[in-house]
Amino acid sequence: MKIALAQIAVVRGELEQNLDTLKQCVREAAAAGAETVCFPEMCTTGFDWSVNRRQLQGAASIIQQIQTLACEQAIAICGSFLEKTERGNAANTFYFIEADGSITAKYRKLHLFSLFNEELHVEAGSVVVVAHTSLGHLGCSICYDLRFPELFRACMNQGAEIQMLPAAFPHPRLAHWQTLVRARAVENQCFFVAVNQCGAESHSDDVGDVQYFGHSMVVDPWGEVLVEADESAGLFYAEVNVSVVAETRSRLTALDDRRPEVYT
């Protein structure tokens, strides 16, 4: 399966401009023959939570627009988006929208990034999500989740063959990103698709200015990097063959050789 990584510079608080960028990327990826296009974290809004609060009421209609776009272009679309929770709070939520417009995966970010005060603005998720999608059995995660190996092992235990992670990782943590993405793929013997923002964002609170470094990646179950972007905006492509997961796990039986009764 050919997937497209849409490494974009999200414009803080500018919903319509970001939507236009998303639509352009979807059309270009579909024209290039990709079957799935993946976007980074909070790809239609960015992280201006005062603006995002005002946009909560229309968050569901944005997802509906993207569902319609998936149908029109016959391509699956996934990424992290603003969502209004049942309590009326903001959530940072991953959606996998199929080429027929159906939603086959929905996951709310479990680990909130305290360094950027995310817990003050976002309602955390509480459920590990592995869903059967057109990509395969997909484990869901978002950005800061990357630092918590327990989540990815839980996804593997629930059958994940591919792990998806939309992100907004900034400098100076590029080495962490490259190391952890490969480590999660190797230790769980799965494909890992990590899509990061690029460009700069000026936070109005005490966070200050940040520079996202891009370097979106696809890593196979052996830890080989199939594609790694630079810091520029663009579409980057990789071929993913899920049958490699079973082959890898049968040739190197590390997952079978675990001793969970000792770990606890």
CB contact at 8 A, 191 and 185: yes
CB atoms under 10 Å from CB of 31, counted, come to: 10
Whole-number Cα distances in Å, 203 to 11, 12, 49: 12, 9, 10
Domain that holds residue 153: 2-263
Mean pLDDT of 106-128: 96
Tell me what pLDDT residue 206 has. Answer: 66
Tell me what pLDDT residue 207 has. Answer: 73
Is the pLDDT score of 155 beyond 70?
Answer: yes
What the block records as the tokens of 166 is 């939309």
Question: Is the backbone peptide bond immediately before 172 cis, with ω within 30 degrees of 0?
Answer: yes
Closest CA to 40 of 236, 205, 251: 236
pLDDT band for 116, please (50, 70, 90 cuts): confident
The verdict on pTM exceeding 0.85 is yes
CB contact at 8 A, 165 and 145: yes
| Number of residues that make up the chain | 264
Tell me what pLDDT residue 205 has. Answer: 65
pLDDT tens track for 29-73:
999 999 999 999 999 999 999 999 999 999 999 999 999 999 999
Number of domains in the chain: 1
Q: How far apart are CA 204 and CA 216, in angstroms?
A: 26
CATH number of 27's domain: 3.60.110.10
The per-residue pLDDT of the chain, averaged, comes to: 96
SS (H, E, C) 14-69: CHHHHHHHHHHHHHHHHHCCCCEEECCCCCCCCCCHHHHHHHHHHHHHHHHHHHHH
